[in-house]
Structure 1
Amino acid sequence: MAQVLIAEDEAFTAMALVDALADQGHTVRDAADGAIAIRMLDDFEADLVITDLMMPNLDGAGLIRFLDSRPGPQMPVILISGVPETRLPADLRYDAYVGKPIDHAALTRAIDALTQPD
């Protein structure tokens, strides 16, 4: 199972994600914004980040830019957002998109695709 860091400012959504992913056997931590998520990466070796796009302090795009600036391989990112994928910034890197309200089956498929060995 994967170690997953969730950056989501909506408490109910974050709680639902944590519970669902923990029930699947993942180790999960959550942060209320991108800045907190960055600090958590010092002590939590995430295999994958799930981030909302619009959050206070540091949004999902800022979190992704930080992840991409780190040395080594790129951290897989699943973007969750109420913004339709067709309206996302063209230069925003992410590996999978799941719209809100969250389709948990689609999220599980994305996690599996990004964390299973080839």
Structure 2
Amino acid sequence: RVEEVLAEVGLGKAAGRRIGGYSLGMKQRLGIAGALLGDPPVLLFDEPLNGLDPEGVLWVRGLFRRLADEGRTVFVSSHMMAEMEHTADRLVVIGRGRLIADESLAEFSARNAVASVTVRTPELDAFA
């Protein structure tokens, strides 16, 4: 299954190369391949988009969607809320070991959005 998974993540041709020569994006893909190797029903990824180029980001989005459509649970840890808007169905926020939110991203955004901004400046006239 190693060759199959490496091909799935786009590393089939790089399989014989040393990992030390891999780019950050290639290392991310290799980590994803490792997670897929055992064909698990639940996957957890920590910042999987780090180091990926735009094509890689689109690929990861598609992969996560396909895995979820297969009935798997895919957890993605990320601080990039804008990216999660394109990737996640539900948002689970955990802080200090407690569940803070478990809802759609739209529900979370609507509940936590601030409609105003406060600006303070010592030079109000120049700022205006």
Measured against the shorter chain, the TM-score band is 0.3 to 0.5
Larger radius of gyration: 2
Which structure ranks higher in relative contact order (CA pairs < 8 Å, sequence separation ≥ 6)?
Answer: 1
The structure with the largest helix share of the pair is 2
TM-score, with length taken from structure 2:
0.35
